[in-house]
Amino acid sequence: MFNRDRWNEILEALSAKPLRTFITAFGVFWGITILVILLAASTGLENGIKQGFGGLSTNSMFVWANSTSKPYKGLPQGRRFNYKNGDVDAIKREFKDLQFVSPRNQLGGFRGSNNVIRGTKTGAYNIYGDYPEFIMQQPMKILKGRFLNYEDINQKRKIAVIGEGIIREMYKPGEEVLGSYIKVNGVNFMVVGVYKSISNMGGDAEESQKQIFTPFTSFQQAFNYGDIVGWMAITAKDGVPITELKPKIFDLLKARHSIDPTDDRAIGNFDLYAEFSKISGLFFILTAVSYLVGGLVLLSGVIGIINIMLIVVKERTKEIGIRRALGATPWNIRTQILTESVVLSLVAGMAGIIFSTGIIAIANSILDRIPDKSEVMFANPSISLAVVVIALMILVVAGLIAGFIPAQTAIKTKPIDALRTE
């Protein structure tokens, strides 16, 4: 394989007509380039969408109460009900495979009336009552201070964590935020932290920075919610899909609130795990399509190499005859043709890999210069080492396929017939 004379012969054969060799190799070059770019684009799209989730715990669901759609146990259809603190405790007690069960309450919103006052400034913001573990379910970056803790919960402290968007609207430039007070529906809360949202799933990026988080117990007390729970964010442990636990959780809630077991409309929910699974399936399809399209383009290049190698073998018929007459075996001839084909494919393919990775590097450089990456559903297009290895294996196989037919044609030629060829 590493015979110096053989490699000299290969180089001479490929360089004899450089233009033809270049045109032949271009098909393989372009096929590999298309394949790598498509795979990188698929990865970039996947990374961009996952970036939009911002580290959100995808094995989660959100559960809220709707009106009943069926009468049950003497209770009428269309009845409204609310979740209670006891529902949260019951879910935690009954389902040991759950990692977090976070009750939530909400007040106001940017589309509603002004509910926050600071000095002479007013604003309309979403006010949430939450537990400390909520930051594990919907990650956010704490820029200053801290997030909620269980001392805040147990002591019902009137403290708040506000978004950086609120600071821009309610505070003067350079003004100290931590330790300041804001008034929410007439109740004073001390600011102990400033956050920046890193997830914008299905929401407004700007408004996601204008929220206020307070301890759940403080929220219930300050705004006279009693033991009402607006909705719950429920996260299962790793390895246990929340989708599998969902029917059992619903059965428990229906039993506690005297809801018909067959009433599928009474409990509203958003299954993040199921939605994310759909997206993952889409990425699998995109990757498969990338391989298919890239493979078809590469196949056209392989066909081009087959055609050219057949021509080359025809042109070298006399040479092959002389080599056979001098003792060259069919194996020697076959190896020579196959090696030339593989080398041509590998060189063209490696050039395609280098070229495509250069394009990917340029794309990443452009993306890095975009100030607000949350608005771009495309991030870090790249290919893994496994993809490069697969591409090289494809190139070797392609070269062998491209050289096989010409090689068989060469060894079938009888030496005496080859020597007669002009």
> Per-domain residue ranges for the chain?
4-54+277-420, 60-273
Continuous H helices in 316-329: 317-325
Note the pLDDT of residue 277.
Answer: 82
Q: Is residue 68 within 8 Å of 81, Cβ to Cβ? A: yes
Closest CA to 390 of 286, 306, 287: 287
Q: Are 407 and 311 in contact (CB under 8 A)?
A: no
Using DSSP's 3-state secondary structure scheme, residue 184 falls into strand
Cβ neighbours of residue 5 under 8 Å, at least 6 residues apart? none
Per-residue pLDDT of the chain (422 residues; tens, 9 = 90+): 556 655 666 666 666 667 777 777 787 788 888 888 888 888 887 777 766 665 567 889 999 999 999 999 888 999 999 999 999 999 999 999 999 999 999 987 655 678 899 988 998 899 999 999 999 888 888 999 999 999 999 999 999 999 999 999 999 988 999 999 999 999 999 999 999 987 655 455 677 888 999 999 999 999 999 999 999 999 999 889 999 999 999 999 999 999 999 998 999 999 988 888 887 788 788 888 888 887 787 777 777 777 777 776 666 666 666 766 666 677 777 777 777 777 877 888 888 888 988 998 888 888 887 766 555 667 778 877 777 777 777 777 777 776 777 667 666 666 565 555 55
Alpha-carbon distance of 141 to 154, in angstroms, equals 24
> How high is the pLDDT of residue 198?
76
